[in-house]
Amino acid sequence: MACQAAVIGLRAASTKQLLVSRNQLARVSPRRWLNLQEYQSKKLMQDNGVTVQRFFVADSASEALEAAKRLKAKEIVLKAQILAGGRGKGVFDSGLKGGVHLTKDFDVQVHLNKLECRGKVSLTTKQTPKEGVKVKMVMVAEALDISRETYFAILMDRSCNGPVMVGSPQGGVDIEEVASTTPELIFKEVIDIFEGVRDDQALRMAANLGFKGPLERQAADQIKRLYDLFLKVDATQVEVNPLGETPEGQVVCFDAKINFDDNAEFRQKAVFAMDDTAESDPLETEAAKYDLKYIGLDGNIACFVNGAGLAMATCDIIDLHGGKPANFLDLGGGVKENQVYAAFKLLTADPKVEAILVNIFGGIVNCAIIANGITKACRELELKVPLVVRLEGTNVQEAKRILSESGLPITSATDLDDAAKKAVAAIPKK
């Protein structure tokens, strides 16, 4: 069960779920997390001695043709670079199927004209919005035959108080399905954070993955190098699927996903400088500058809260009373007035917003700071939509005095239920 829980935790590290009603589950990806394109992750691996396919990146047909010539490979693969999985089964809005193309004739001009670099067409996959994502560059890589595929990952496991290795001889497939149907094929090794990956652990994992003879030692070496990378870049997860072997006797990391600890940004400036925000919602990107957690939704009532749990409860109760949340905005704990002002600026920039609900429970947060930020934002931004405020906790009486003496049209609420009802009622009837 521990192995299965660790595997299931892999996906939990990259996808969060937000409950917006008792009957509806909206999946959202927290865009403020570091997003790297495939070629960037592979470059990190390559620079740290991990074996990957030889590759170049191109944003034009001429660059791709030059890259293909430099590779001098028997076969090349062209892969559209977007921050989404399922590219191979994706569809371009031009009608072309597949964001991954193999070719042996080096007629990359034809393939690139189809893939359309520089943001000319969009690729839609199971993980993108319905309108797809603009493709601005492609990876031109050496195509290698794979004789066998395995799965390998290193991740932080709360139950083990540190990193663990998880592997399976069944790679190139959905690892959760493997864990569910054949849990005996999931292998786990707990890593001593002070000692690191021991030789016997790496060799045992390589053997469990099915590598034999000289390949076992080669796979163990790759495992240790992946752990070195895991530590070096402050990763929370390095997942390789597949970790494959070729007919020529090479162990190669064919595809990888790396998740990073956002708290380590101060010492990983080079890595975080690679963050690709081009595909992110501009509001979410702007919010991250002020350390605000913002996720856009489809409704018309903006939610301005502190704490993820309170944010989910606020969204849910708005829906319960017949409204629809327009966003998920979490201020966090150490709030400053400028963050409150920035939050209001973000909320009012969304044309869908017809009312704003502020729901603050002041534990660490000083309610008076929130109140001062609210009154400043209302005056300077000339707020045009109804504003409902519910404050509770630290310095709440002072906060209520600030709001009541401001002379601004702010509707106060006694509790969350009252606040949600008033916010829904404030929406103009159409």
Residue 142: how many CB atoms within 10 A of its CB? 17
Burial state string for 365-384 with b = 16 or more CB within 10 A and e = fewer than 16: bbbbbbbbbbbbbbeeeebe
144 is known to lie in a ligand binding site: yes
Cα–Cα distance list, 8 to 13, 57, 64 (Å): 9, 33, 38
> What residue segments make up the domains of the chain, in order of their start?
54-142, 148-273, 282-426
Rounded CA separation 90/126 (Å): 7
Contact 262, 288 (CB under 8 A): no
241 is known to lie in a ligand binding site: yes
Q: Could you give the residue numbers annotated as active site? A: 151, 239
The residue to which tokens 């509770």 are assigned: 392
Whether 135 shows a pLDDT value over 80: the answer reads: yes
pLDDT band at 108 (very low <50, low <70, confident <90, very high): low
364 is known to lie in a ligand binding site: yes
Contact 202, 224 (CB under 8 A): yes
46 is known to lie in a ligand binding site: no
Is 148-273 in CATH node 3.30.420.40?
no
Of 21-25, 75-79, 349-353, 375-379, where does mean pLDDT reach its minimum?
21-25
Residue-wise pLDDT for 169-204, tens only, equals: 999 888 888 999 999 999 999 999 999 999 999 999
Q: What is the pTM of this model?
A: 0.69
For the domain 54-142, what is the CATH code? 3.30.1490.20
Which residue did the predictor score with more confidence, 91 or 279?
91
Residue 2: how many CB atoms within 10 A of its CB? 13
Average pLDDT, the chain: 85
Q: Which residue intervals of 75-169 are DSSP H helices?
A: 108-115
Contact 350, 326 (CB under 8 A): yes
Domain spanning 282-426: which superfamily? Succinyl-CoA synthetase domains (3.40.50.261)
Rounded CA separation 207/232 (Å): 26
Which residues are bridge partners to 324 per DSSP? none
Whether 391 shows a pLDDT value over 60: the answer reads: yes
β strands within 246-321, DSSP E: 251-253, 256-260, 293-296, 301-305
Question: What does the pLDDT read at residue 8?
Answer: 45
HSE-up (13 A, CA, CB side) for residue 307: 11
Environment class of 289 (CB within 10 Å of its CB; exposed 0-12, middle 13-18, buried 19+): exposed
Residue-wise pLDDT for 218-259, tens only, equals: 999 999 999 999 999 999 999 999 999 999 999 999 988 899
87 is known to lie in a ligand binding site: yes
Question: What does the pLDDT read at residue 113?
Answer: 54
The residue to which tokens 């080669």 are assigned: 218
The residue to which tokens 């709440």 are assigned: 396
The residue to which tokens 């002002």 are assigned: 341
363 is known to lie in a ligand binding site: yes
pLDDT band at 20 (very low <50, low <70, confident <90, very high): very low
pLDDT band at 31 (very low <50, low <70, confident <90, very high): very low
pLDDT band at 337 (very low <50, low <70, confident <90, very high): confident
Nearest Cα residue to 325 out of 367, 355, 346, 351: 355
